[in-house]
């Protein structure tokens, strides 16, 4: 594998493993150290509680000048996550800063599960229900968590 993996990426990876974030794991694939297998636990007192969500993350050539690419592999019922697992989150786009890290990105994604934002939707159908009938939307999110994200 690449002998010239940037020091920044090596440091971040070592720290992810030596001081893991509670409820989040990120492990590089052995044949591509820029590609991570990620698991996020659903935050407590959210509809995603007790869910185990799989994601994938890739550090592109221009990281950290450009944000990581990350998406859910587990089916999600969430107004800011589309059917292909793509995530609508400002720090993954125009609000990215090289001062952010893999760790902060994953924490922000976990926080997004606690605070869905139907005013800035990526999945319009889910967002409409979230605004019209929040109880039913939350029930759907719980149901999908049970169906697709349990251990």
**In the complex with another protein, which residue's Cβ is closer, 11 or 95?**
11
Nearer to another protein, 84 or 115 (CB): 84
**Closest distance to another protein from the beta carbon of 45 (Å):** 28
- Identify the active-site residue in 5, 73, 88, 138: 88
**What residue ranges bind another protein (CB under 8 A)?**
2-4, 13-14, 17, 27-32, 34-37, 56, 58, 60-61, 69, 71, 73, 75, 83-86
> Catalytic site residue 88?
yes
Closer residue to another protein (CB): 36 or 130:
36
Report how far residue 127's alpha carbon sits from residue 119's, in angstroms, rounded to the nearest whole number.
7
> Can you say whether residue 120 is alpha, beta or left, with left for phi > 0 and alpha for psi between -120 and 50 degrees?
beta
Q: How many CB atoms lie within 10 A of CB 56?
A: 15
* SS3 per-residue string spanning 18-35: HCCCCCEEEEEECCEEEE
Shortest distance, CB of residue 48 to another protein, whole angstroms?
A: 18
End-to-end CA distance of the chain: 32
CB of 3 to another protein, least distance (A): 7
Other beta carbons less than 10 A from residue 136's beta carbon: 11
**Residues that are catalytic:** 88
């Amino acid at each position: 594998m690449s002998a010239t993996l940037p020091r920044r990426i090596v440091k971040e990876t070592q720290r992810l493993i030596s001081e893991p974030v509670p409820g989040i794991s990120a492990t590089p694939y052995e044949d591509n150290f820029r590609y991570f297998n990620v698991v996020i636990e659903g935050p407590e007192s959210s509809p995603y509680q007790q869910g185990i969500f799989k994601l994938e993350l890739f550090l592109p050539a221009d990281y950290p000048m450009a944000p990581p690419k990350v998406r859910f592999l587990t089916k999600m019922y969430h107004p800011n996550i589309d059917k292909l697992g793509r995530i609508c989150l400002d720090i993954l786009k125009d609000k990215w800063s090289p001062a952010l890290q893999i760790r902060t990105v994953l924490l922000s994604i976990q926080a997004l599960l606690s605070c869905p934002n139907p005013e800035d939707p990526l999945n319009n159908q889910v967002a409409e229900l979230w605004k019209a009938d929040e109880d039913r939307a939350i029930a759907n999110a719980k149901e999908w968590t049970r169906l697709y994200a349990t251990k």
